[in-house]
A and B are shown apart, each in its own frame.
Chain A
Amino acid sequence: MSSLLPIIKMPGRRAYPPRQSRFTHNFWDQLEHGRFTTTQCENCKGLTFPPKAFCPHCWSRSIRWVDAPSKGKLYSYTTIHIAPEIFSIEAPYKVCIADLDGKLRIATRLVETDAELTLDSPIEIVILRYEDGSLFAVRPQTSRTA
């Protein structure tokens, strides 16, 4: 098992809190405990994200929960200046596409971007801890955090 992920304390509540199902509850619960998890197929070994009760690649129902890769590369990003009303107070903010360990692509918030960003540079998953729960995000992996 990998070590627990960095946690960043965030002010206030999440603007658009995700719903949880009986199935995805495990993901959000693990996130609260410092882990970024997903499901892997026991049959074809394929990873998927978000986690699913079956494998979308081969449709096997034989899946298991695993720690997802938490480090990877920045595939692309943008800064959103005109945001949905419920996110307006946070704008401008950055979102990105990140490839984790070259095998799992996610799209999420990009935070702690002090220096200039270069695509394909290393990133890592962090947990954003709000008053009402957690979200995951990506931040540049600096020498400090590598």
Chain B
Amino acid sequence: MKRTAAIVGAAAIPCGKLMAKPDAPLQVLEHELLAGCVLDAVKDAGLDKSSIDAMVFAHPRVYTRQLYFATFVANYLRIPANGVVMEVLGDGMTGGLAFDQALDQVTSGRVDVALALGVNFETAADTRAHLNNSMRAVGDVDFQASCGFTPISWYAMDAMRYMHEFGASRGEIASVAVKNRRHASLNPLAQFREPITLDEVLAQRIIVEPLGLLEVPPRSDGAACIVIANEELARNLGRPYVRIRGRGFHHEGVHQISDIPTDMMAFVPAARAARMAYEEANITAADIDFAELYAPCTIVEICVAEACGLLERGKGARASAQGQTSLGGRIPLSTSGGLLSRGHPPHVTPLYGFVELADQLRHRAGNRQVKDAELGLITCELGNYNAALIHILEAVV
């Protein structure tokens, strides 16, 4: 029988530019930072190292010199394990897949405690040189990359189409960035904490039309670790924990765009994954208290919130501008500050989302606490939400 599982511990380092330039005399080493997160997360759980029986790592970026990173870290931390020790990879979904695989280790009964963890270092690599690589991930290398698409150019086209179809204004979409920065100002893990105004967002230089610098993701390094345990063990620890209530995944069998015309902004995989997760949790979208959404650009937060049923289709931009998605609003979104302001170390970004849910649902998110938070939803994705992985988490306090 499938067992229920819980998050019992979580830790991360503040997102930022942590990676040293290649010629710096002192380098910052990925495994040193990650080991700190693991020790903190396991302490947070009230467990000791002997309880850990599986580790699922987000695969590091190509800039990480140490290869076979998972097995290297198993040695570095001296953790023998009967469950898996492995790395997973899936574009922006990577950290979410690490969580999901670790979760499977526990719910299948294979282990009692599993870690989902990872480190993403990339900021010392020049942005344009980095794009030479990432453009190969977001389109057919021969038939599309030859045109020079960048990852966020696809989201920019979502924005153009969204404005065209629903009559949303630039300001309404940009309001997401202002709101997320306000949330980030309350998050010690956030990379950008200085509040910004709508005028400032709209005045930024354009990166991909219509999106300016503050509506697209920053480049970030980061490291995080989540401790997952079977619920019986979690209960016996005698402290608040976070139950995994529902889970959904859907890949639409499409890479960036379908060759058969579809409604691109409907984010169908997110809608399907959300429906699966709601069914498993036996709730509806209206029961969700807050959500941590994987949204590299302002427009993406709007489209995915609509797909998950948290905002009304075509009206999400207006709802954001009206403050419905702010802390204190009807449905707070991206309370961490989201990818735009909390930071976006892509391969571990979803792990940061789980850290936020673990804080919110154990009612220790400080000034950004969602009052009486009981149910939270988290998404991650790859491509242009061609695949979505969604979990619903519940407070047990």
Query: Are B140 and A105 touching (Cβ within 8 A)?
Result: no
For A107, list chain B residues within 8 Å (CB).
139, 144, 147, 149, 256-257
For B161, list chain A residues within 8 Å (CB).
75-76, 119
- Cα–Cα, bound, A16→B146 (Å): 5
Interchain residue pairs with CB less than 8 A apart (15): A18-B142, A20-B142, A47-B259, A75-B161, A75-B264, A76-B158, A78-B153, A81-B209, A84-B150, A85-B126, A95-B149, A95-B153, A105-B262, A107-B147, A107-B256
Instruction: Verify if B260 is at the interface (C-beta below 8 Å from A).
Output: yes
Instruction: Verify if B131 is at the interface (C-beta below 8 Å from A).
Output: yes
The one of A77, A93, A108 in contact with B144, judged by C-beta atoms closer than 8 angstroms, is A108
Q: B-contacting residues of A (Cβ < 8 Å)?
A: 14-20, 24, 46-50, 75-88, 90, 93, 95-97, 99, 102-109, 119-120, 135, 137
Knowing A81-B205, A105-B259, A107-B256 touch, does A17 contact B146 (C-beta < 8 A)?
A: yes
For A135, list chain B residues within 8 Å (CB).
146-147
For A77, list chain B residues within 8 Å (CB).
157, 160
For B129, list chain A residues within 8 Å (CB).
85
Query: Are B160 and A50 touching (Cβ within 8 A)?
Result: no
Q: Which residue of A lies closest to B134 (CB)?
A: A84
- Cα–Cα, bound, A83→B127 (Å): 9
The one of B128, B131, B134, B208 in contact with A78, judged by C-beta atoms closer than 8 angstroms, is B208
Instruction: Verify if B156 is at the interface (C-beta below 8 Å from A).
Output: yes
Instruction: Verify if B28 is at the interface (C-beta below 8 Å from A).
Output: no
Query: Are B261 and A103 touching (Cβ within 8 A)?
Result: yes
Instruction: Verify if B207 is at the interface (C-beta below 8 Å from A).
Output: yes
For B264, list chain A residues within 8 Å (CB).
75-76, 97
- Cα–Cα, bound, A42→B210 (Å): 42
Q: A18-B146, A86-B132, A104-B260 are in contact. List 9 more A-B contacts (CB 8 A).
A: A47-B259, A76-B157, A79-B209, A82-B150, A82-B207, A84-B128, A97-B157, A105-B262, A107-B256
For A108, list chain B residues within 8 Å (CB).
144, 147
The one of B141, B147, B208, B262 in contact with A81, judged by C-beta atoms closer than 8 angstroms, is B208
Query: Are A83 and B148 touching (Cβ within 8 A)?
Result: yes
Query: Are A119 and B144 touching (Cβ within 8 A)?
Result: no
- Cα–Cα, bound, A93→B156 (Å): 14
The one of A17, A20, A48, A95 in contact with B148, judged by C-beta atoms closer than 8 angstroms, is A95
- Cα–Cα, bound, A87→B134 (Å): 13
Instruction: Verify if B27 is at the interface (C-beta below 8 Å from A).
Output: no
Instruction: Verify if B164 is at the interface (C-beta below 8 Å from A).
Output: yes
For A16, list chain B residues within 8 Å (CB).
145-146, 148
- Cα–Cα, bound, A93→B147 (Å): 9
For B143, list chain A residues within 8 Å (CB).
18, 49-50
Contact residues, B177-217 vs A (CB, 8 A): 205-210
Instruction: Verify if B135 is at the interface (C-beta below 8 Å from A).
Output: yes
For A17, list chain B residues within 8 Å (CB).
146
The one of B127, B131, B142 in contact with A19, judged by C-beta atoms closer than 8 angstroms, is B142
Instruction: Verify if B284 is at the interface (C-beta below 8 Å from A).
Output: no
Knowing A84-B135, A119-B160 touch, does A105 contact B260 (C-beta < 8 A)?
A: yes
- Cα–Cα, bound, A14→B142 (Å): 12
Question: Which of A77, A81, A103 has the largest count of B CB atoms less than 10 A from its CB?
Answer: A81
Question: Which of B135, B157, B207, B259 has the largest count of A CB atoms less than 10 A from its CB?
Answer: B259
Knowing A77-B157, A83-B128, A84-B128 touch, does A14 contact B147 (C-beta < 8 A)?
A: no
Report the minimum CB–CB distance from A123 to chain B (whole Å). Answer: 14
Query: Are A79 and B206 touching (Cβ within 8 A)?
Result: yes
For B139, list chain A residues within 8 Å (CB).
107
For A119, list chain B residues within 8 Å (CB).
160-161, 164
Instruction: Verify if B258 is at the interface (C-beta below 8 Å from A).
Output: yes
Report the minimum CB–CB distance from A132 to chain B (whole Å). Answer: 12
Question: Which of B127, B134, B260, B264 has the largest count of A CB atoms less than 10 A from its CB?
Answer: B260
Query: Are B259 and A104 touching (Cβ within 8 A)?
Result: yes
Contact residues, B238-297 vs A (CB, 8 A): 256-262, 264
- Cα–Cα, bound, A15→B147 (Å): 9
Report the minimum CB–CB distance from A44 to chain B (whole Å). Answer: 12
For A83, list chain B residues within 8 Å (CB).
128, 131, 148, 150
Q: Which residue of B lies closest to A46 (CB)?
A: B260
For B262, list chain A residues within 8 Å (CB).
105
- Cα–Cα, bound, A86→B144 (Å): 14
For B210, list chain A residues within 8 Å (CB).
78
Query: Are B160 and A80 touching (Cβ within 8 A)?
Result: no
- Cα–Cα, bound, A50→B257 (Å): 12
For B164, list chain A residues within 8 Å (CB).
76, 119-120
The one of B132, B144, B148, B256 in contact with A90, judged by C-beta atoms closer than 8 angstroms, is B148
- Cα–Cα, bound, A87→B127 (Å): 13
Query: Are B148 and A84 touching (Cβ within 8 A)?
Result: yes
Query: Are B261 and A99 touching (Cβ within 8 A)?
Result: yes
Q: Which residue of B lies closest to A51 (CB)?
A: B143
Query: Are B140 and A50 touching (Cβ within 8 A)?
Result: yes
For B157, list chain A residues within 8 Å (CB).
75-78, 95-97
